[in-house]
Amino acid sequence: MAKKEEYLRKPEWLKIKLNTNENYTDLKKLMREKNLNTVCEEAKCPNIHECWAVRRTATFMILGAVCTRACRFCAVKTGLPTELDLAEPERVADSVALMNLKHAVVTAVARDDLKDGGAEVFAETVRAIRRKSPFTTIEVLPSDMGGDYDNLKMLMDAKPDILNHNIETVRELTPRVRARAKYERSLEVLKRAKEMQPQIPTKSSLMIGLGETKEQIIETMDDLRANDVDIMTIGQYLQPTKKHLKVQKYYHPDEFAELREIALSKGFSHCEAGPLVRSSYHADEQVNAAAKQRQAQA
């Protein structure tokens, strides 16, 4: 008889408070009416109830709901996308305006099937939000777009308020955790983005609990700072389904607090770290002074 797989039991501090108030139901209805995807739903984010019901924020996921990569940590559907919706930027911008958002986060599935990696639709989404909601600050969270820096420039020329690209895991675990992505290429994306638009803060996220060591986490911090990354988030990896990588360790909130202090001591302007922290967690609090000034003058 095959031995039953063992899974770590979730600790108390990972329990989530569900909140399905009017904000939550209104936002869910709006997403369906506009035929929009959110990473909040597709990636099974543990903060969806807090963000939708309490903070009334959401992370829009453009370029469809099917990703061309099959990362072993991610719950987003994988396969070969069949279409590109050129009307999507206007629908996202309409939703941002209807929600009267202070800060909008726009991410996307990886589209390795497209020559520009989806950069044109990404850039047009930023421009559409600017036209319809000039007081809203915008954070973008693209894939590495195949490492094509003309594609990255197309996005940076649209001048989002924050460029977020996730390193996801430590160097040693990258080949096992991330499909097609490369650790060094992610660092290069962050470095080039800063070179293209020095005034725009860059940001990256690390999930822990996949078997990394504390020394490897600190090395990742050093690598990000060496490439002028301003903001870092650190969160607990949670296994979305039995097909995905198992959790190797649940970090205690005190350990996250220590990692946050280490990150700040290394020069990050802001660091969110905690068991339920995700890349877009409290993103509205991370907009820099220049972005707030642009917003005030709009």
Encode pLDDT of 221-275 as tens digits: 999 999 999 999 999 998 877 888 899 999 999 999 999 999 999 999 999 999 9
Burial of 142 (0-12, 13-18, 19+ CB in 10 A): buried
Instruction: Specify the 3-state DSSP secondary structure of 106.
Output: strand
H helix or E strand, kind and range, residue 140 = strand 137-141
Supply 235's token pair.
């969160």
- Write the single-letter amino acid at 239: Q
Model confidence pLDDT, tens digit, residues 194-215:
999 999 999 999 999 999 999 9
Determine which of 102-106, 152-156, 210-214 has the lowest per-residue pLDDT on average. Answer: 102-106
pTM: 0.83
The whole-angstrom separation of Cα 235 and Cα 213 is 15
Show Cβ contacts of residue 4 under 8 Å, excluding neighbours closer than 6 positions: none
Domains of the chain: 19-297 (3.20.20.70)
Helix ranges restricted to H, 157-252: 174-177, 183-196, 214-226
Q: 71-85 in b/e burial notation, b at 16+ Cβ within 10 A?
A: bebbbbebeebeeee
Q: How many angstroms separate the CA atoms of 66 and 75, rounded?
A: 11
